[in-house]
Amino acid sequence: MNETEITILINRKSDLDLIKQKIIDSNIQFPVYILEFENHYRISFTSDHGEWELETAILSCFPQYEFIGHPGKGRKEIRLELSRYESEFATDGWGGRNENPVNETKYLIKKTIKNDKPVRFSQKITVLFDDQEFFYQTNIIDGINKRTEERGFVLLNNFREPVEKENSEILQDRMYKSPMEAFDFGFYKIQDIAEEDFKIFKTNKKKKITEIQRVPRKIVRDFINACNSGDTEHLTKNLHPNLDFEQKNGWKTIFECSGISDFVEYSQSEEQKLCKQNLKIRSKWDIKLPYLTIGVKNNRFADNDEDHFKNLWYRNIDFTVIEGKITKIVLNE
């Protein structure tokens, strides 16, 4: 026999009498079990067919609801669940094995009511380029196809500012059935324009940053060159009178001084690690003005010197440059 196990979960307890009456009206020829839990009822029985008429009867009680195969995501209330299950060993009624046993659950949820009311929207579109806002505009007007008398909506061929019909040409592409359809197409056009504008924006910003960083970069390069040459006059040229200098090993400060004279004294001592080291600035600079960090390596040894790699070292130097003067230097070993 092809038996189907049917289970109904009623999540609103007040619906029990209604569902129970529909089961009675369906003249089920098998025992029907009703189990009560804290928040729901479970009705179960076995039938020799799927009782599809019962599903239709239940739907007639809830005209604003529908059965769906998967509840999906969201917070819609599942008012009722109806499950059918046939064992994979069930027969097809002719002595053969049922090749397609039923195993399904349907969920009774409220129908999604289609809102035919037009969606209102702003034709102004804001686009962020880094931290700056730029504005674009779709200009949608009523249109008519003079050949066919078809009415609809068209776009004006200006996506940068609000314009009147008399001041701009119509974009010769198509007639749109709704303002929203025209808006969607206009948005795609704006994306193309904004992407080109963004490339120009980034190029100009890079030029501006390069110009802003030009002087601080030169000051740091001049300082490193002066360190290499050991020229005290050039070494102190761009130093602030109240310069703070610190030499660190990891987190530990191993030397510090304040003022140009103390720094010059340090630069001429045997313990110093800046001057006459033939320092070479590595390619990557970290700049967030007024702070600049560079990587340096010593280059005192010829490439064929057998001790070249053994004596090679890399260090970072942090600079603070304010109004054309170096106010702080931190040498990180």
Q: Pull the structure tokens for residue 296.
A: 């340096």
**Beta-strand pair 325-332/239-249:** parallel
pTM score of the predicted model: 0.53
pLDDT at 147 over 80: no
pLDDT at 207 over 90: yes
Give the per-residue pLDDT at 76: 77
CA angle 90, 85, 21 (to 5 degrees): 120
pLDDT at 306 over 60: no
Buried b (16+ CB within 10 A) or exposed e, 227-243: bbeeeeeebbebbbeeb
Distance CA 63, CA 18 (A): 14
Give the per-residue pLDDT at 172: 72
Beta strands in 186-274 (DSSP E): 239-249, 252-258
Enumerate the β-bridge partners of residue 85: 5, 103
Say which residue, 136 or 117, is predicted with more confidence: 136
Give the per-residue pLDDT at 191: 92
Q: Are 244 and 327 in contact (CB under 8 A)?
A: yes
Q: Are 31 and 45 in contact (CB under 8 A)?
A: yes
**Helices and strands (DSSP H and E) totals, the chain:** 6, 16
pLDDT tier for residue 91 given thresholds of 50, 70 and 90: low
pLDDT at 107 over 60: yes
Q: What are the residues whose beta carbons fall under 8 Å from the beta carbon of 140, sequence distance 6 or more?
A: 123, 153, 154, 155, 156, 176, 179, 182, 183, 186
Q: Are 188 and 213 in contact (CB under 8 A)?
A: no
Contacts of 136-142 spanning 24+ positions with Cβ under 8 A: 136/160, 136/190, 136/193, 136/194, 137/161, 137/162, 137/163, 138/182, 138/183, 138/186, 138/187, 138/190, 139/163, 139/168, 139/186, 140/176, 140/179, 140/182, 140/183, 140/186, 141/165, 141/170
Q: Are 137 and 159 in contact (CB under 8 A)?
A: yes
Report which DSSP code applies to 275: T
Beta strands in the chain (DSSP E): 4-10, 33-36, 41-47, 65-68, 80-85, 103-110, 124-129, 132-137, 140-144, 151-155, 239-249, 252-258, 279-288, 291-298, 314-322, 325-332
pLDDT at 32 over 60: yes
- What is the percent of the chain where pLDDT is above 70? 89
Query: For helices 52-61 and 16-25, what crossing angle results, to 10°?
Result: 140
**Per-residue pLDDT reduced to its tens digit, 39-61:** 999 999 998 888 889 999 999 99
Which of 25, 26, 27, 23 minimizes the C-alpha distance to 7?
Answer: 23
Q: Report the SS3 class of residue 66.
A: strand
Give the per-residue pLDDT at 309: 53
**Per-residue pLDDT reduced to its tens digit, 222-255:** 999 998 988 888 889 999 999 999 999 888 999 9
Q: Are 78 and 11 in contact (CB under 8 A)?
A: yes
What SS3 string covers 177-189? CCHHHHHHHHHHH
Sign (positive or negative) of CA dihedral 160, 161, 166, 172: positive
Q: Report the SS3 class of residue 175.
A: coil
Say which residue, 72 or 263, is predicted with more confidence: 263
**Per-residue pLDDT reduced to its tens digit, 253-281:** 999 999 999 999 998 888 888 888 888 99
Please count the other Cβ atoms lying within 10 Å of the Cβ belonging to residue 59.
Answer: 14
